[in-house]
Amino acid sequence: MLLTDKDQAMLGGEFGSATKLAMSLLVDMAEMQDARRFIDITSAHIDGCLYHGQAGLDFARKLVDGGAQVAVPTTLNVSSLDLLHPDRFKGDPLEAEASRSQMRAYEAMGCRPTWTCAPYQLSQRPSLGEQVAWGESNAIVFANSVLGARTERYGDFLDICCAITGRAPDVGLHTDRGRVASKVIELDVDESLLEEEVLYPLLGGVVGRVAGPDVVAINGLGSGAAEDRLKALGAAAASTGSTAMFHVVGVTPEAPDLASAASGDAQVLRVDRTDLVEMFRRFDRDTGPVGAISIGTPHFSRAEFDELARLVEGRHTTLPFAINTGRDVLGSLDGSRALETVVEFGAQIVTDTCVYLTPILGDFEGLLMTNSGKAAFYAPGNLGVGVAFGSLSDCVETAVAGRMVRTGPWS
């Protein structure tokens, strides 16, 4: 590899033992990826702050003990705890304390305690062409696809190593060549379905299954896809597969047309309503009464709160109804009529974490209903519950009625 003088100094321990460890891990990874050099990054987003076990905590403590400090602005992903409402955690107290310790360790390294899986909803976010190192699968795919920033799929440990050194291997999605789609999805559905909210997580689920880790270009989605719908698409694709980037022709910044987004020999795959209905059945794979609702996976945006407030005005939920969001978004709602309306509806707002990850809802009888492809994919394994899937409107109507209500065209 071609290492700069500063790279060599970090690797040699001149910047402390933690930076040496971080750089050595990055060099090992870069060599496995056949990278020839490192590039500077402007920011990082860390997934490793989420407690998964003792190893993650030990690694964070080792970095802190070695004097680690991040070299670029660095945000933090969700944790296992809602620090604004700590009494809501219903799990093992020892695990809660370990999670707090891991969170404190990352703060001690200079990371910003944002505690959100949607750092793209913060006031400062990377712009087109900016080189970053982001963890968290939905954040990665949103940064690459919707913002046009450049990040590889950084997992726990590597994300903080990039943040400490300010460097990343110059491979894959950091490069022009690595961002060209090798697969094209030709979407063939009635135009009316393009206005359906549920289309986007369903299409994302299909993308993840057929594209895997490959960059894909989606043709035929139209030009009206808002950020929250692209968020839902990307999160589902990154969950059902290992998608880290997609293009939507005529919508996303690197795809003004198909020729700009995909290689000339890209594999073409046709996706129609049948494929989307099949994905609906994969997400909505359990039967029985609904016992609770969870929305906001990825974290609910300000625009989504406004839409939810419109749907629930003057109404009341009869089921536990959790909204997962970031503390910055919640802060922006302070004193707003939207927040007041949602609280009057009876929703429980969860920050800093997500109920598909951690025991906050507690025991309930029946299925967990969600409008999120990501939550539908992970909740059965993480929480041991069955899942019902539907639109945001379906979730609201079900919550009010206390029984399953679905009006969309997919079921």
Same-domain status, 15 and 128: yes
**Amino acid, res. 190:** D
57 and 98 Cβ atoms separated by less than 8 Å:
yes
Same-domain status, 261 and 295: no
3-state secondary structure (DSSP) of residue 350 = strand
Number of folded domains in the chain?
3
- Separation between Cα atoms, residue 357 and residue 382, nearest integer Å: 6
pLDDT in tens, 1-14: 899 999 999 999 99
Same-domain status, 24 and 147: yes
In sign, the C-alpha dihedral spanning 158, 162, 168, 173 is positive
* Length of the chain, in residues: 411
Q: How would you write the pLDDT of the chain (411 residues) with one tens digit per residue?
A: 899 999 999 999 999 999 999 999 999 999 999 999 999 999 999 999 999 999 999 999 999 999 999 999 999 999 999 999 988 888 899 999 999 999 999 999 999 999 999 999 999 999 999 999 999 999 999 999 999 999 999 999 999 999 999 999 999 999 999 999 999 999 999 999 999 999 999 999 999 999 989 999 999 998 878 999 999 999 999 999 999 999 999 999 999 999 999 999 999 999 999 999 999 999 998 999 999 999 999 999 999 999 999 999 999 999 999 999 999 999 999 999 999 999 999 999 999 999 998 888 888 999 999 999 999 999 999 989 999 999 999 999 999 999 999 987 876
Same-domain status, 193 and 132: no
Same-domain status, 190 and 248: yes
Domain-embedded: residue 22: yes
The last residue of a domain, from among 280, 297, 328: 280
**What is the DSSP-derived secondary structure letter of residue 221?**
S
The last residue of a domain, from among 280, 299, 318: 280
Same-domain status, 274 and 196: yes
Q: What is the CATH number of the domain that holds 303?
A: 3.30.499.10
Domain extent, residue 40, equals 5-174
Under 8 Å CB-to-CB from 340, ≥6 apart: which residues?
none
Domain-embedded: residue 407: no
Domain-embedded: residue 375: yes
The last residue of a domain, from among 217, 247, 280: 280
Same-domain status, 149 and 127: yes
- Separation between Cα atoms, residue 68 and residue 134, nearest integer Å: 18
Domain-embedded: residue 84: yes
Task: Find how far residue 299's CA is from the centre of its chain.
Answer: 8
**Measured between alpha carbons, how far is residue 98 from residues 26, 28, 80, 86 in Å?**
27, 29, 10, 14
Domain-embedded: residue 406: no
- Separation between Cα atoms, residue 241 and residue 143, nearest integer Å: 17
pLDDT in tens, 342-385: 999 999 999 999 999 888 888 899 999 999 999 999 999 998 99
Give one DSSP letter per residue of 128-141, joined into a string.
TT-B-EE-SHHHHH
168 and 68 Cβ atoms separated by less than 8 Å:
no
Same-domain status, 26 and 142: yes
- Separation between Cα atoms, residue 379 and residue 375, nearest integer Å: 5
Same-domain status, 157 and 11: yes
